[in-house]
Amino acid sequence: MTLNRLQHYHLPDSGNAVIDLLEKYPDEAMIVAGGTFVHGLAARGLVSHVEALIDVSRLGLNFVRTDEGRLWIGATTTFRELLESPEIAGQPLFGAIRDALSWPPPQVRNAATIGGCVAAACPFFDMPVALLALAGAVSAQGRSGVREVPLQEFYDGLFENTLKADEFVIDMSVPLPTGRAASAFAKLETNANDLAILNAAVLVSAGSGGTCDMARVFVGGGVGETPVRSRAAEEVLIGNALTAEHFVAAGEAARNEIDPLDDHRASAAYRKAMTAVYVQRVLEKAAARLRA
């Protein structure tokens, strides 16, 4: 691996110690936990400037809990810990989280952390798209305290987030809607262990007459430098019945709205075509959960 300049591997035991280290190495430090992303970056020469790794896995940030009307996920909670958590089991609202976590192989689920996956700002990852659909937020701790950053304001381009130099992610949270809501996620990939060609996640809710009163539609996996929200698809859904014809129309609307990347995994044209298919599929899946 290309971590040629690495001098220090720190295992701090408190948030303040992490902040001290971030200030000590303003441009040369990288936060790690599960470590499942840094080696991929290293192989591509993207971390050759890193002199210090700050491993945050001993801060006690492995937790999943519900309070104050939100689901809270500690930053170093592994994919597996969240997937096995009773807090998200069986609930239609958290369907997208369960879907996204069931895709990676066991080796990744055992090691990768939710905070790392979110903070990495890799447009091909799955969990960020699921959490964006669920209107998730990041809690960032820095010298001046903890602030909440909505995920939609957290991403700032390829591998870029809006954390300040002295901040790191301590948890993610998702609001619990008052009405009945359901979410779903799906991923298109070339093999079981590759990054997404395309992924999609939706959150929908319906009033007593079965009319959709809220929808959030996100597409990721190479449709842009960050996941993309399809307002056009949401407009098709809101005020209409959650039925197949509207799911097809929402898929078409999402396809027409995006301008995907052309890369070695897939052409932009293929990503556009598959956006229509995958938005339709996740809507069907979420609607089925809502009816169940």
Partner 1 sequence: MKELLTIEVNGERHEVAIEKSDSLARVLRDRLGMTATKRGCDTGGCGCCTVLVDGRAVYSCMTFAKAVGERKVTTVEGLVREGELDPLQQAFIDADAVQCGYCTCGMMMAARQLLDENPDPSEDEIRKGISGNLCRCTGYSKIVDAIQLAAAAGRPA
Q: Minimum distance from CB of 88 to partner 1 (Å)?
A: 19
x/- map, 167-206, partner 1, by CB under 8 A: ------------------------xxxx------------
Alpha-carbon gap, residue 216 to 202, rounded angstroms: 5
The contact pattern for partner 1, residues 80-109, with x = CB under 8 A and - = no contact, is: x-----------------------xxxxx-
* Contact (CB, 8 A) for 259 and 225: no
The rounded distance, in Å, linking the Cα atoms of 41 and 25 is 19
Which candidate, 163, 143, 144, places its Cα nearest to that of 153?
163
Identity of the residue, 39 or 147, whose beta carbon is nearer to partner 1 in the bound complex: 39
CB closer to partner 1, 40 vs 175? 40
In the bound complex, what is the minimum distance in angstroms from residue 102's beta carbon to partner 1?
A: 9
Cα 111 from Cα 40, distance rounded (Å): 14
112 vs 202, which CB is nearer to partner 1? Answer: 112
User: Residue 110 or residue 152: which is nearer to partner 1 going by CB?
Assistant: 110
**Which residue, 80 or 231, is less far from partner 1 as judged by CB?**
80
Residue 173 CB, shortest distance to partner 1, in Å, is 26
Reading the block at residue 175, the tokens are 């609001």
Using the contact rule CB under 8 A, the part of the chain among 7-15, 65-73, 223-231, 284-292 near partner 1 is: 7-15
* Selected range binding partner 1 among 3-11, 132-140, 161-169, 245-253, rule: CB under 8 A: 3-11
Give the contact letters, 8-47, x = binds to partner 1 (CB under 8 A), - = no. Answer: xx-x--------------------x--xx-xxx-xx----
Alpha-carbon gap, residue 139 to 20, rounded angstroms: 18
Q: How far is the CB of 182 from partner 1 (least distance, A)?
A: 24
**Nearer to partner 1 among residue 36 and residue 230 (C-beta):** 36
Q: How far is the CB of 55 from partner 1 (least distance, A)?
A: 6
Strands 29-32 and 52-55 turn out to be parallel
- 10/229 with CB nearer partner 1: 10
Q: Which residues 109-148 are close enough to bind partner 1 by CB under 8 A? A: 110-111
Query: Which tokens is 11 given?
Result: 């295992």
Q: Which is nearer to partner 1, 12 or 175 (CB)?
A: 12
55 lines the binding site for partner 1 (CB under 8 A): yes
Binding site residues, partner 1, CB under 8 A: 1, 3, 6-9, 11, 32, 35-36, 38-40, 42-43, 53, 55, 57, 80, 104-108, 110-111, 191-194
